C-alpha cells in the first residue's frame, strides 16, 4: 500500500481535518465530525489494503480495497462508494463497488450482499466496513450469492481466477485506479 505521504486520500483528509467546511457553506455538524474522526482512525490504524477519503459535502466517502495476499483478488484494487445516512452512526451506511467486482456476493451493479443491517451498531465505523468487505473477497457467503454465475465458477478456483483477471483488467480501466 502506498505511504500516506503520497496518498491522495491522506491529502484529501488533511484538508478536512484542518477545519475546512464542505462546499456551499454548510457545517460538518456532529455526524461530519464523527466521520472525520473515523477517517482519521482509519488512516492511523496501519491496516493494510484499505483506505477512504471524503468525496463531497453530502457525507459520501470513496473507499479503496486491495485484495489480500493469498486470495484470488491479491493485488487487485477496487474503488467503493460509502454513503452515510443522516442517522449515522445509529443507522448503517450503504456500500457499493464502483470498480466492477466479479464475486459471488456482488451483483453486476456493484451492490454487495454484506449483512450490515442486522449486525450494525454505533460502534461500527468506516474501518470495520472496509475490513468486512475486504474479508468478503477472500470467502463468499454461499447462502446469499447475488451473482449465481460467479458462485458456480467459484467452485473451480483456476477457472475463477482466470476469468476474474481477464474481466478485472478490462473493466477497471473504465473507472480509474482506486485512490486517484
Residue 95 has pLDDT above 60, yes or no: yes
Residue 65 has pLDDT above 90, yes or no: yes
- Residue 15 falls inside a structural domain: no
Average pLDDT, the chain: 78
Q: Which of 113, 116, 124, 131 is catalytic?
A: 113
Query: Around Cβ 137, how many Cβ atoms within 10 Å?
Result: 22
Q: How far apart are CA 62 and CA 26, in angstroms?
A: 20
Q: How far apart are CA 2 and CA 119, in angstroms?
A: 31
- Residue 180 falls inside a structural domain: no
Domain count, the chain: 1
Residue 9 has pLDDT above 50, yes or no: no
Query: In sequence order, what DSSP letters do the residues of 52-80 get, joined into one string?
Result: EEE-STTSEEEEEEEBPTTSTTBT-EEEE
pLDDT at position 92, please? 83
- Residue 154 falls inside a structural domain: yes
- For residues 79 and 122, the model is more confident at 79
Name the band, by pLDDT with cuts 50, 70 and 90, for residue 86: confident
Could you check whether the bond before residue 89 is cis, i.e. omega within 30 degrees of 0?
A: yes
- Residue 122 falls inside a structural domain: yes
pLDDT at position 24, please? 39
Name the band, by pLDDT with cuts 50, 70 and 90, for residue 81: very high
Residue 25 has pLDDT above 50, yes or no: no
Residue 114 has pLDDT above 60, yes or no: yes
Model-wide pTM > 0.95: no
Cell of 20: 475546512
Average pLDDT on 87-109 reads 91
Name the band, by pLDDT with cuts 50, 70 and 90, for residue 149: very high
Q: What residue numbers bound the domain in which 96 lies?
A: 31-174
Q: How far apart are CA 157 and CA 178, in angstroms?
A: 25
- Residue 120 falls inside a structural domain: yes
Q: How far apart are CA 69 and CA 5, in angstroms?
A: 23
Does 124 participate in catalysis according to the annotation?
Answer: no
Query: Around Cβ 101, how many Cβ atoms within 10 Å?
Result: 30
pLDDT at position 15, please? 34
**CATH code, domain with 98:** 3.10.110.10
Amino acid at each position: 500500500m502506498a505511504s500516506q505521504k503520497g496518498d491522495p486520500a491522506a491529502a484529501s483528509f488533511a484538508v478536512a481535518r484542518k477545519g475546512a467546511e464542505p462546499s456551499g457553506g454548510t457545517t460538518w455538524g456532529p455526524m461530519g465530525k464523527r466521520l472525520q474522526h473515523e477517517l482519521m482512525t482509519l488512516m492511523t490504524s496501519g491496516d493494510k489494503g484499505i483506505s477512504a477519503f471524503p468525496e463531497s459535502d453530502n457525507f459520501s466517502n470513496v473507499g479503496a480495497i486491495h485484495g489480500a495476499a493469498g486470495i484470488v483478488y491479491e493485488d487487485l484494487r477496487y474503488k467503493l462508494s460509502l454513503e452515510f445516512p443522516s442517522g449515522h452512526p445509529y443507522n448503517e451506511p450503504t456500500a457499493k463497488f464502483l470498480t466492477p467486482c466479479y464475486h459471488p456476493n456482488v451483483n453486476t451493479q456493484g451492490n454487495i450482499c454484506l449483512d450490515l443491517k442486522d449486525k450494525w451498531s454505533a460502534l461500527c465505523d468506516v474501518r470495520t466496513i472496509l475490513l468486512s468487505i475486504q474479508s468478503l473477497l477472500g470467502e463468499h457467503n454461499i447462502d446469499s450469492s447475488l451473482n449465481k454465475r460467479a458462485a458456480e465458477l467459484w467452485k473451480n478456483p483456476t477457472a475463477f481466477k482466470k476469468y476474474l483477471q481477464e474481466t478485472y483488467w478490462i473493466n477497471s480501466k473504465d473507472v480509474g485506479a482506486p485512490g486517484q
